[in-house]
Amino acid sequence: MAMLSVKNLGISFGGLRAVDSFSITIEKGELYGLIGPNGAGKTTTFNLLTGVYKPDTGKMFLDGVDITGKNTIEINKAGIARTFQNIRLFKNMSVLDNVKIGLHNNYSYSTAAGILRLPSFFKSERQMNERAHDILSVFNLDQDANLLSANLPYGKQRKLEIARALATNPKLLLLDEPAAGMNPSETEELMETITLIRKKYDVTILLIEHDMKLVSGICEKIYVLNFGTELANGLPQDVLNNPEVIKAYLGE
Amino acid sequence: MKMKPAKQVSNSTRSNLITIGAIIIVYIICQIMIANGSISNLMKGLLIPLCYYSIMAVSLNLTVGILGELSLGHAGFMCIGAFASAFFSKVTVDTIPNVFIRFTLAILIGALAAALLGSLIGTVVLRLRGDYLAIVTLAFNEIIKNVMNVLYIGVDSEGVHFSIKDAASLNLEEGGQTIVNGPRGITGTPKDATFGIAILLLILTFIIIINLVNSRSGRAIMAIRDNRIAAESMGIDITKFKILAFTISASLAGVAGVLYSHNISTLIATQKNFGYNMSIMILVFVVLGGIGNLRGSIIAAVVLTLLPEYLRFMQDYRMIIYAIVLIVMMIFNWNPKCIAWRKNHSIKGYLAMLFNKQKKEA
Ligand SMILES: Nc1ncnc2c1ncn2[C@@H]1O[C@H](COP(=O)(O)OP(=O)(O)OP(=O)(O)O)[C@@H](O)[C@H]1O
Ligand SMILES: [Mg+2]
């Protein structure tokens, strides 16, 4: 069964059909790229998949479960986590605490146990710290754990967003332009990290990216959006050589 | 509203211990001064108020600084805590002669009553944000205060009677007792509050909030403050944790109310003690002490409570001085240059310098 199966998803803002008939099937473990010119509707698609916007047409299934119309919290609990194009870290919290927010629903002790410092508090916190450090070390952020997240350099902030999303233990990870603003060597490193987390955390990935080197380098399939509709969808070599795609990117 | 960045984790644990230590030292100094009679009557009468104002400020900081929502109704919860607990203490003053047990129960009842009301109001108002929330909480504050002014409650052998008309319509039987008497409030509450208990409650309030902040729920609350959309995408239940923070904040204000009502003989809800004047004064403590800075809340509450009392001799000029101090404190706390100056000239910094020098010389 497909990890994500979406049929005819669509949404309008006023008169603008931002996304129309978005259909995609992502198999478990796949790394799918979502590309398209500026304003094509890529981020809006992510917002639909994560329940930020309610679709006005279409259906979506995660691992066979209908998640159409569910809210953001329910969809995260169902197993979809995401990062944001415009970074949205918890700025006044430490790097470690940002990841521990991701772990929030995977560990549980009551508020009272936290205030009274009961044994369950210490046990869960110890496990959470271990797991959080574990995830941070994958991204080479371990030594920055106690820094305020707002004080991280830009590239590390992007990585922390991915770490935090991974901490929720998702089946499907949505990355919105993870390499935006990174220099070539940082992008290179990010590609390696993405390859690593796929194996280590057994996660399926759908990523939006403008950096063609990254897309053609690691994506196994590519979906091209243009003006909210599908322009091409399939294997990288087919999609990237498609004259329609080249035209959309280079202009008429 | 801009939030002050949190400090590093290990650092803040130490600074919290310092705060608690400082409170205890101040308590001991006051006790010594009381013992050898070197404390003025004015100051002596202010010891318990200083504690409940500090509790009010610290607990409001949970809503304003940690949750990041502006509430202008904090005195309403103090009011409920004060009345609920005073009612209990007056009814049970004969049946529970043990002051410790009675007052402990009174504190729990005050906290619980305020928590119930807090969760109720929180459920209704926390959908609103920013200025809207501020206005609606202020309105609730006024409603609570006004209801307490028309409420009559009496007790007789049949149980508790309520009225919002007058004492006569309570229809109490012979020997029945009117406990809450409308605008005349509650009289004859046992004066169970002591400075020691007040200090203890202040420390407890401080520890409760610190422990909350450094736990799973507290992190969720701060995540909502920092970025609502990201918190939702991490599966954090926004409504639940907002109400939780608001409720805890309200219940601690209720505890302050218990101290208030058990420190005076006549409890009346007025504009000055439970109206928005009080709510705004507490907010001033929080803002000047530093939003999110619990220690600052206590310092601001103490300084700004003592100041007008000690400036009484200046009569009409005292409010001018008070205003000037407010402005100076605001600049001191929030001006970036002042913050930088304080960092360079902190006591901790000097101590470290001194220490390093000694090390070098040794
Ligand atoms: N909440 C909204 N209300 C109205 N219009 C919106 C809203 N969100 C997105 N849009 C519009 O939908 C279109 C698609 O926007 P979207 O952000 O999805 O593009 P994108 O493909 O992510 O572009 P970019 O590469 O620049 O990030 C744009 O025209 C945008 O203005
Ligand atoms: Mg986008």
pLDDT digits (tens, 9 = 90+) for B129-138: 778 888 999 9
Contact of A157 with chain B, judged by CB distance below 8 Å, is answered with no
The token pair that represents A42 in the structure block: 């890529």
A90 neighbourhood in chain B, CB within 8 Å: 222-223, 226-227, 230-231
What is the CA(B331)–ligand 2 centre distance, in A? 41
Q: Within its chain, how far is the Cα of A157 from the centroid?
A: 14
Predicted model pTM:
0.90
Q: Are A100 and A128 in contact (CB under 8 A)?
A: yes
Q: Which residues neighbour B225 within 8 Å (Cβ) at sequence distance 6 or greater? A: A92, B3, B66, B67, B68
Q: Are B289 and B148 in contact (CB under 8 A)?
A: no
- Closest listed residue to residue B289, CA positions, set B275, B274, B276, B304: B304
Q: Reduced to 3 states, what is the DSSP secondary structure of residue B195?
A: helix
Give the per-residue pLDDT at B316. 74
Q: DSSP labels for B31-63?
A: HHHHHTT-S-HHHHHHHHHHHHHHHHHHHHHII
- Which of the residues B1, B16, B215 would you substitute to probe the A interface, choosing the one with the greatest number of A C-beta atoms within 10 Å? B215
Looking at the CA of A34, which ligand is closest? 1
Give the per-residue pLDDT at B347. 66
Closest residue CA from atom 2 of ligand 1: A13
Interface residues from chain B to A (CB-CB < 8 Å): 3-6, 8-10, 208, 211-212, 214-220, 222-223, 225-227, 229-238, 244, 292
Per-residue pLDDT tens for A106-127?
999 999 999 999 999 999 999 9
The token pair that represents A174 in the structure block: 């949505």
State which residues of chain B have pLDDT below 70.
1-11, 318, 334, 346-362
Sequence spans of domains, chain B: 43-273
Intra-chain end-to-end CA distance of chain B, in Å: 49
C-beta neighbour count of B223 within 10 angstroms? 28
What is the CA(B74)–ligand 1 centre distance, in A? 41
Per-residue pLDDT tens for B79-97?
999 999 999 999 999 899 9
Contact of A107 with chain B, judged by CB distance below 8 Å, is answered with yes
B315 residue type, one letter: Q
Cα A47 to Cα B254: distance, rounded to the nearest angstrom: 42
Distances (CA, A) of A200 to A118, A192, B96, B102, B317: 33, 12, 63, 59, 70
Q: Within its chain, how far is the Cα of A93 from the centroid?
A: 21
Cα A50 to Cα A71: distance, rounded to the nearest angstrom: 7
CB-ligand 1 contact for A38 (6 Å cutoff):
yes
B215 neighbourhood in chain A, CB within 8 Å: 109, 111, 114-115, 121, 125
ipTM of predicted complex? 0.93
Tell me the domains of chain A and their CATH numbers.
1-79+170-252 (3.40.50.300), 90-164 (no CATH)
The token pair that represents B300 in the structure block: 């601001």
Looking up tokens 């100041």 gives B307
CB-ligand 1 contact for A190 (6 Å cutoff):
no
Identity of the residue in B214, B222, B237 whose CB atom sits nearest the CB atom of A90: B222
